[in-house]
Structures are given as structure tokens and as C-alpha cells.
Amino acid sequence: MSVTEIDGEIAPSDGGAKWPARLERATLISLIGVLAWAPFPLGSNRPWSWSLLSILIALCCGLWALSQAIAPSSSSSSLKPYLVPATLFAGVLLWGAIQLFPYVPPSWPHPIWQVASDALQVKIKPIISIDPWRTATEWMKLLTYLAAGGLTFFLCQRSDQAKLLFSAILFIIALYAGYGLILALTGFSQTELFYENWTIPGNMNGPFVLRNSFATYLGMGVILATVHFYPAASKKIVTNRGTRQHILSTLLYVFGQGVWGVLAFIAVISVLLATASRAGCLATLIGLMTVLVLAAILSTRRNTSIWAMAGAASMVALAVLLFSLGGDTLESRFFDLVEAGGVDEVRMALWNAATRMISDSPWLGLGLGTFERAYPMYADRMFPFVMDKAHNDYLEFAAGIGLPAAIAWWTAIGWCAFLCLRGVFVRRRNRIYPMVAIGATVLIAVHSMFDFSLQIPAVALTYSVIMGLGLAQASSTRN
């Protein structure tokens, strides 16, 4: 099959490969459609919506597989650097399946199954998980996110498709920022669309149930919008002809070619501030500063350190605005955080319970997604709420899957982030994609210490696609 070069990348030519190319393009458009749909039904955080999400991603993967069956891609990045994280991800999925398997050594199943068997006078085949339905559900979700990330990796080997997906994600997040603002101004809640008598008034939740999840989603949009300026602005803004020319070219870009990106940035960050999410704003700030540091280092290598420092000063000013313009709500919530010693009472109780779960079964785990079922057995305090999340993804994941599998999962994500970091400094073009993947990873990593945004399918799906996009462009596909 003949090939043509697009922006330094090798891509299939139209001659002799029209249908596979059309199918691949259709797969990309379908993936964008799924990303646009995922946040709308309360972040896809309901059984019917996350099941639908899994089906849609499976259909996208099937469509791409069909295009490859007709005409396999003639060139792609070497897969050797990705074998270790892929193996670790596969190992964790395998262990999650073993947690549901009834034929394991007698000492592995949780004692609760023997208690249930004695109480019901029924012979029950014991398994490791204390709630097989929830474990199977979480296993399906993890597989969906990995499939979405892998699909993005292969689709975005071509730089034109990577650019399209990058712009689409930013556009989708900006639209939901506007949608969240409309909901807040009208006093309408997204939950009223799906549950007639359930509403959460007075919060900037957008299409999500909780504002913290919306804040994480918007935070990724802030990083996308910031990085979006990097390639275009570096070409349009003049930095070597004096301060006056620099300011003039900056204004021309901001109010000309870059106006839509500026508007998207303003919309997303404004709504993020309106959520008044302490952890969401803090995590976004840290992710943003990480991207800034990378950009400053790259600028220094180009002998433009003065303007890199100017960019740093601008981002510090933005950091101040992030806290000062958030209003009394955000400020008071941070004061509450400090007065409570860093965590609130409920979170501390949840974390203590999760720690006891890990201590009780450090190697095998209690089963993916079983925190809600396990909490009454390990809690030292009870609250008049449904304790379905630990408000710390690290503790909850380790309690469910076990420490060895949890460490393997985190190592795989860290490995992928390292490959993206390497791509930022090794690649001469398209480095914005691995850069935004690093920023999103830092954001997610920080927020996961205080909340459970990664357990919201729309957030996890968007992050996995961003990571797949970054990995796809972390190394050149030139043969």
C-alpha cells in the first residue's frame, strides 16, 4: 500500500485504501461522539449509562478492527516501549477476573462467604470478592477505559487525526462549561432530567452529580486550553524584536487567530472557579504549573528564557486569581480545610476504614468496587449517609484489588506518563500532546488523594483518551 507524508508522519494514501481510511475516520468521529455523550447522563455514573458507554467503546473498537482487517496500517510507532505497561495492565485485569473465580485455594476466599453459607444453610462457592456484581462491573469499566486509550493510541498515530481529537476534546469540555453555567443560572439541575424528585440546588455541578467531578473534568479542559496556545502562539508571537513588538504580536494573536482558544480558556476556568471545589482548583493549579515548568524548560533550550519567565509570572498571577476570584465560597472552604487539620471528619473515617481493609487483606483484596459493602464491617464510626466511596482512589483501589495489583496499576500509569515526559523533550513536533497528557495525569493524581473523580466514567474515559493521545505522539512514527 502506498503512503504519503503528513506533517512528518507516515499516513495511508487514498489510492487503494479508501474504505479502510473512511472506516478509520468514522471510528475517530464515533469516538468523539462517545466523548461528547459520556458526561451528559450524570457523568455516565449509573448502571445503564456506564453499560451503554462500554458498548459504545466496544463498537468503536470493532469498527477500527474492521478497517485493519481490510487493510492493516503499514506503519506505526514501535510497540516495544509500551509492552511493560500493557503487561501490567493486563495482569491487573487478570487478577480482577480471578477475584470472581470460584476455584481458588481454600484460604483465598473472604470468610464472609462461609458465614453466609452457615446462616442460609446453603452451599455457596466462595470467591475472593465480597460482592461479585460490583467487582464484575468495575472490571468492565477498567477494560473500557483501557480499550478507549488503546484505540486512541492507534488512531492518533497520524498527526492530523491527533489534532482533530485534541481540538474536539477541548471543544466538548468548553461546551459543557457553558452548559453548566446555564444550568446554574436557571436553577435547574441535571439530575431532574433523569430523576424527577431529586435535585441538588445551589451547586455548579454541570451534567455531573457532584461539583468535584465537574471540577476535575473542567480542570483537564483548562490544561488543554493552555497547551493549545503553545504551537500556534509560538509561531505568531514575535519574541526577538523588542517588548513593543512582542506585546503587539501577542494582542494580534489573542484577538485574532487565537480568539476561540482564549474564549474556551476563559469559559472553562471561570466555571471551574464557580464550582468552589477545593481539591479540584488545587489539582488544576498543580497540573497547570507542571505544564508551565515543561514549557519554560523547552523555552530555555530555545534561548527564550526571558519570555518563559514572563509566562511563569503570568501563570503565578493566574494562581492568585484562582483563589482570590473564587469568591467567599471557595475561600471559606479552604479555611475550613485548614481548621479541620487538612481533612474533614467524614473523610478521615472513610480513610481509616479503607486502611483497615487493606491491613485485613493486603495481598488478595476484597474485590474491585466493594468499598460500600465492606465499610460497615471495617468502620469505627457510622454516618447517616451511603458510604460508597472512600474519597481517596488510592486507598479504595488498593483495598479492592489488593496492594500488589494496585502497585502494578499505578506503575503502569506512571510508566505511560514517563514515556510522555520523554516525548516532550525528544520530539521536535507535536510535543503538545504528551505535554497535555502529563498535565492531566498530575491533575488526576492530586485530586485522587481527596476525591473519587476517576471512578466517574466520563472523567476516567476522557483521561484515558488524553493519555492515549499523548502516547501516540510521544514518539515519531516516521519509518
Q: What is the pLDDT of residue 198?
A: 65
Q: Give CA–CA dist 179/274, Å, rounded.
A: 13
Exposed/middle/buried for residue 15 (C-beta within 10 Å: 0-12, 13-18, 19+)? exposed
Local structure of 9: helix, strand or coil: strand
Cβ pair 119, 112 in contact under 8 A: no
- Sign of the CA dihedral 318, 324, 330, 334? positive
Count Cα atoms within 13 angstroms, Cβ side, for 220. 33
Per-residue pLDDT at 403: 97
> What is each CA distance from 328 to 178, 276, 283, 340, 447, in whole angstroms?
22, 9, 19, 18, 22
Is this prediction's pTM over 0.85? yes
- Residue of 315, 325, 327, 243 whose CA lies nearest to 284: 315
Q: What pLDDT shows up at residue 471?
A: 96
Per DSSP bridges, beta strands 3-6 and 9-12 are antiparallel
Dihedral pair phi/psi, residue 470, rounded to 5°: -65, -40
Closest CA to 154 of 34, 347, 278, 20: 20
* 359 neighbors 327 (Cβ within 8 angstroms): no
Q: Distance between CA 477 and CA 419 in Å, rounded?
A: 15
Cα–Cα distance list, 411 to 173, 402, 404, 469 (Å)? 28, 14, 10, 19
Gap between the Cα atoms of 376 and 365, Å rounded: 16
DSSP characters for 266-319? HHHHHHHHHHT-HHHHHHHHHHHHHHHHHHHHHHHHTT-HHHHHHHHHHHHHHH
| pLDDT tens for the 479 residues of the chain, in order | 444 444 444 444 444 457 778 899 999 999 999 999 999 999 999 999 999 999 999 999 999 999 888 877 755 557 888 999 999 999 999 999 999 999 889 999 988 888 888 888 888 888 999 999 999 999 999 999 999 999 999 999 999 999 999 999 999 999 999 999 998 888 888 888 887 566 665 578 899 988 999 999 999 999 998 888 766 666 555 556 656 665 676 666 666 666 777 788 888 988 998 888 888 888 998 998 898 888 878 877 655 545 545 555 565 565 556 555 554 454 554 445 444 444 577 888 899 999 999 999 999 999 999 999 999 999 887 777 778 899 999 999 999 999 999 999 999 999 999 999 999 999 878 899 999 999 999 999 999 998 898 999 999 999 999 999 999 999 876 54
| Domain locations along the chain | 3-346+383-472
